[in-house]
Amino acid sequence: MSSRTAPQSTTADRRTAKDRPSRVRWKMFVLLLGVVSLNYIDRGSVSVALPLITEDLGLSKETTGFVLSAFFWTYALMQIPGGWLIDRFGPRLMASGACVGWGVAQGVTAAATGVGSLLGYRLLLGAVEAPVMPAGGKLNAQWLPAKERGRGAVLLDGGAPLGAALGGIIISALIGLTGSWRTSFVIAGVATVVVGLLAYWYVRDTPREHPAVNEAEAAYIERAHAEEDAEADATDERTGLRPYLKYRSFWAMCLGWMGFNGVFYGLLTWGPLYLSETKGFDIAAIGWSTLVIFGAGFVGELIGGWLADHWRSRGAGANRVLRTLMGTAGAAVVGGLLGVVLVPDALTAVLLLSGVLFFLRWAGLYWSLPSLLGGRANAGVMGGAMNLAGNIAGIVTPIAVGFIVGGTGSYTWALLYFVGAGLLFTASSLVLDYSRRLSVR
């Protein structure tokens, strides 16, 4: 009798598995985590190799600031055009194409012979990297229900601290193995091109286009999007950026992201040289300390995303959840940076900076805002506008720190500059209304 019932049980199990939603959306966001990690390994490689590059090319502190800033000039300039192209042609093409392009740019940076060529290659790298984060924001909108976007946002943005953490140890190890910062850049560039091709093969613009998505997963996502649109009492149509410029929440989103990046990009670009010059770290020590500091940021980002989605799933409103998390994070960041100013011990400084990054990276939840405020159809251009504002801080911060350190001979006022950026992030996050989509009627 048992032999007769076994096939029925197997058939029921297969039917249950078929009816259960597939998990392709999470596999895709893990892949995007890898893409963004490579993004930050490549853009941060100059910072890790900076002690060698400054000696090789004879760069002053002020010139170093311009070199570190150059990436952000074109990266910021291309944000809104990149966001428009994403809304027009889809995030799959733009994200994977950007990945291949910046892999090439990273590799050719090894040919730099002076300040002019190094600046040129950094400008090229910034231009081709520009679409990747707005494309991720668009995929967050297209692929995830609202209740899952916190985790999706931090998986996407978590590539920033993970790439910075791994980049420190990977680039320093490659330099140690090859004896050349130039060879390490070529190897990183080739790896990035390969990952870009992999992303094009696996990523799709919408769930229905992906061959591995079953009907249950597609229906689950579409039903959630329909409920979201009904609750917002809005149609999901492309409108461009102009209708949103009148809203406080739009500007709070942009200024909050600017403040966040003032801290993060400052530590990403000048952090390794700060540890080298004030704490006496060599290349190997810089690599390991960078791994610890930015690794803490990656862990913090994942925890922040989980906390947001878990709290929302228990019925808490968006404003209560996000204002509480962002306010807590901002207070911890400001307090930690003030601690670094006051405590000279090297180990304590590394521990404090690890705490700063742990809480700072809760700001990865900002990548759920373009779709929350603008809807799925406008998530690309809204994400581009947000990232443009953030990368204005990327342009200004390395140059400002270069002049501060060059003029004062100390990093104290540079750290206080980061404190000011942390205050901007905190204040903007607390006045932003997370509870409703902005009306374009």
List Cβ neighbours of 378 (8 Å cut-off, separation of 6 or more): 87, 238, 239, 240, 241, 244, 370
* Per-residue pLDDT, 259: 96
* Per-residue pLDDT, 16: 54
Measured CA to CA, the distance from residue 329 to residue 358 in angstroms comes to: 9
* Per-residue pLDDT, 235: 56
Q: What is the mean pLDDT of the chain?
A: 85
Contact 69, 398 (CB under 8 A): yes
175: left (phi over 0), alpha (psi -120 to 50) or beta: alpha
**How far is C-alpha 407 from the geometric centre of its chain's CA atoms?**
31
Confidence band for 201, pLDDT divided at 50, 70 and 90? very high
168 pLDDT above the threshold of 90 = no
6 pLDDT above the threshold of 60 = no
Measured CA to CA, the distance from residue 62 to residue 173 in angstroms comes to: 28
Of all residues in the chain, the percent with pLDDT exceeding 90 is 33
* Per-residue pLDDT, 175: 87
* CATH class given for the domain over 23-431: mainly alpha
Contact 175, 49 (CB under 8 A): yes
* Per-residue pLDDT tens over the stretch 37-75: 888 888 777 777 877 888 888 878 778 778 877 888 898
Measured CA to CA, the distance from residue 35 to residue 48 in angstroms comes to: 19
Please give the model's pTM, rounded to 2 decimal places: 0.73
* Per-residue pLDDT, 429: 96
- Between 258 and 387, whose confidence is greater? 258
Confidence band for 357, pLDDT divided at 50, 70 and 90? very high
Measured CA to CA, the distance from residue 307 to residue 324 in angstroms comes to: 11
* Per-residue pLDDT, 233: 59
* Per-residue pLDDT tens over the stretch 388-420: 898 888 888 888 888 898 888 888 898 899 999
**CB neighbours (10 Å) of residue 196?**
23
Measured CA to CA, the distance from residue 332 to residue 363 in angstroms comes to: 12
* Per-residue pLDDT, 238: 65
H/E stretch holding 1: none
* Per-residue pLDDT tens over the stretch 304-343: 988 998 898 888 888 999 999 999 999 999 999 999 888 8
Instruction: Sort 183 into a burial class: Cβ within 10 Å, 0-12 / 13-18 / 19+.
Output: middle
198 pLDDT above the threshold of 90 = yes
* Per-residue pLDDT, 418: 93
Q: Which of 161-165, 264-268, 318-322, 430-434 has the lowest mean pLDDT?
A: 161-165
The helices-and-strands tally (H runs, E runs) of the chain is: 19, 0
Confidence band for 1, pLDDT divided at 50, 70 and 90? very low
288 pLDDT above the threshold of 70 = yes
How large is the angle between the packed helices 24-48 and 132-143, nearest 10 degrees?
Answer: 160
Of all residues in the chain, the percent with pLDDT exceeding 70 is 93
Contact 319, 433 (CB under 8 A): yes
8 pLDDT above the threshold of 70 = no
Contact 24, 217 (CB under 8 A): yes
Inter-CA distances, 374 with 287, 326, 363, 429, Å: 40, 20, 18, 17
240 pLDDT above the threshold of 50 = yes
Confidence band for 190, pLDDT divided at 50, 70 and 90? very high
User: What is the maximum span of the chain, computed from C-alpha positions, in angstroms?
Assistant: 88
∠ CA 125-129-135, rounded to 5°: 175
* Per-residue pLDDT tens over the stretch 122-139: 899 989 988 888 898 889
Find the mean pLDDT for residues 141-150.
Answer: 85
431 pLDDT above the threshold of 60 = yes
3 pLDDT above the threshold of 50 = no
* Per-residue pLDDT, 58: 81
Take residue 33 and report the two structure tokens written for it: 């985590």
